[in-house]
Structure 1
Amino acid sequence: MKMKKIEAFFSVLFVPLDFLLLILAGISAYHVRFSQWSDSIRPVIFNLPFSSYFRSVLIMAALWTFIFVIAGLYQTRSARQLAQELKKIFLACSTGLALVAIVIFFQRELFDSRFIVLAAWFFAVLYLSVAHILIRWLEHSLLAFGVGVHKVILVGNSKTTDSLIAEFSGNRKAGFRVLKRVRDFSITTAQELAEFIKDQEVDEIIQSDPNLTKAETLRLYDFANENHITFKYVADLLEVKVLRTEVTEIIGIPIVEVKRTTLEGWGRVFKRLFDIVVSGLLIIIFSPVIILTILIIKLDSPGPIFFSRRDDGAPVTRVGEGGRPFRYFKFRSMIPNSDSMRYKELSDRNLRTDGPMVKIKDDPRVTRFGRTIRRWSIDELPELFLVFIGRMSLVGPRPHLPEEVAKYENYHKKTLTIKPGITGLAQVSGRSDLLFEEEAKLDIYYIENWNMLLDLSILLRTPLAVFKHRQAE
């Protein structure tokens, strides 16, 4: 979309403004910690010169601003909504906080006060949220006076056109003003519109009639280009489904590549780096729990510590990215040599009759300690090692058995587009009784709409989901 000068100004303004506010947040946290009020509550027992601290703040502010860019905080007005923007601020600042925590963990001398780090995060969320709210209010006020409004022509004779006119007329914050509606496009109409566009300084033309032929739409597209205005059109169902496209030219012929997921290119690199760092950190943090679990499993019941072999001695596998199987293991929570019972003696207890998965009600194979580690998902902690070596990801669809995947419908196989995860959108949905179809839809939504902030959101919600599941039991 052609940007107005005022729109470009606000889009550019946010970058230096956010950077300065992040610095201010760091300074505020420092002064609060070293204030008399704070010192009276908890005396300062470390030395942190302001000059040294300020250098670290500058580096972190620049890094956080880069995270904001990746998070999409600086999109054009048409792509932004205030509620989504505030959510992005919170999640992006939380990502920055996690990054600082990781740095502190491996380089303790960066900051000696956890309070300063948490206070800086709080002030950053507060300052940026207030600033973005005020600037959005200013933008909306200017739009109400006609400043920065996009002047449009609507072409179409459909209910969609009527709906757009009603929306643009009743919602000034949308930033569009309909100057003219054209019910059909012809040579005569084109000549009249060309003069109208010059006189009224029209910004864009929107083809809003799904019933218009492809030839008419192409003529309208050429007309918009000839008159140097933006062309938009209402997408049909197919285009909505294949929205993630990339166009390249081969000997002058445009070739459209339909991407299976937004997790491509740099996104895949960032996700893998995030998986390595966070899984490594979590392995260290949970190492006491892992060691204790190993000891108790050994004392609680005879058999191996890990569930890594099937009843016939074959290695346990799950289906991963691209439908490729990989070696899988987790803590053993059942009596040995009982895996095949799920398809035989216990088949009448299956709770997942709606799809290919098997889930046994009141499973008698589970050991006494196995029930405890299952209740808190401790049996899945070894999956962190699978994430670290690249077989799985922290977030993604849960890995399924080869015999389950063999029963998938064709559209279910889209869940195999990416690496399986320890947790996912289905697991934090708030329900433990999801039907397989509902779970598949959530997984496909995640694949089609992936971004790092969505991953962070799911990870932050996972502990609460585990706790709620524990309470439900």
Structure 2
Amino acid sequence: MTSRALRYLPTSAFALDTTVITVATMLGVLGRERLSLFATSTDVAERLGIVGPLLVLGWIATILLSGGYAKNVFDAGTDEYRRVVQSSFVTAGLVGVGCFLVKFPLSRGFFLLTFAIGIPGLVLGRLLLRRFVHAARRRGSLLHRVLIAGSPSHVDEIAAVLRRETWLGYQVIGALTPAHYLDEETRRGIPVLGNSDDATSAVLEHEADIVFFASGALGSSTQMRRIAWDLEHKDVQVVVAPSVMDVSAERVRIRPVGGLPLMHIDPPRATDASRWGKRLFDIIGSASLMILLSPVFVIAALSIKLYDRGPVLFRQTRVSRHGGEFPCLKFRSMVTDAEAQLQRLHAAVDADHVLFKMPEDPRITLPGRWLRRFSIDELPQLFNVLRGEMSLVGPRPPLPSEVARYQGDVGRRMHVRPGLTGLWQVSGRSDLSWDETVRLDLYYVDNWSMLQDLSILAKTVGAVFSSRGAY
């Protein structure tokens, strides 16, 4: 099922919003009567025939006028939620002012309960709808058919991002390359379906929903404008993809100057990730977690000690910010001579990459399996966080031998403290390739924000219980 089913997405959102608002209105009436909030002589139930339908229609109309059902708000970002919330507050303001002007005796209890229930309900409904759409896209449904126009290298870069982020639902059906490029497909296997100069005819021929224009696609802005004119009434989205990768929305500002949209990119935020606010958050957070999880510490320690009478903790030298070394603490999950067996395992699996992981590592003990499955073995690193050697969120702490093999831009991940969890933890953990791990770490370093840290910590709970990539 491809993009045709996407036409019903705004209708589904409309039906969902209507249901939520209607239920919120009814609960507002019942709650006001049962709780006797702001008791007056007004009988809200008797006036529901007037207030209810008008409120529902007005609320929905405000969301509609604010663009809350536009097709381009459902895929990603916070714009969808922002429009719904702003529309709800506008509706509340209009209802309040309108009732005051016409001297309509609207119950204050009903008013407060309806919007107090309705606004969170609308946001939750949209969130669940988006989750449903994302899940459907991962299964191959509700997809956008996408053509990418540009030089072959830029086509491959964009296609790699779109394929990685499957929840966006972008199905790349082909590429449009400059006329001098004669190969039938790009280096990464994207079929070449035509020349970028003939983008309009190619889009219509292959029934694409979206066309991406990357660097090298067109020779002038005049061509882009004419293509936009040609596709004006064809229900096709035109997207310009600049040669900028892995930059968060918070660092990008678009400023039109004389009809020319200029993209301003704020500097990377590695320095911000080392300031006192993050450090204070680490101290309070690690201390609180150690107190909260103290029973887990005791159970883990006893299970390790009773299994083979070996040491409870495993200390391994890791590299912190700017190359400083520190003893990284973990609950021991392997046999006591695990380090001695490492070289033999390297040779057995022919490992020549920086990060060594085995799905079925024979060195792991019986208690070590459940410790690793739920990442309990990493909890002692809260002491490293408290001491300032690590952070709650950041890139994984590397071994000195790994750092010695870093090449190119990889060393930039050392500009911040390593983390107990990070983007790698919530994105697949050991299932990730080395290149993907580095990409996520560099994205975190350059685009740090406290909100992102909180989001990663929240997602870590789900990643731990799902146990995906934990070995």
- Report the TM-score when normalising by structure 1: 0.48
- Report the TM-score when normalising by structure 2: 0.48
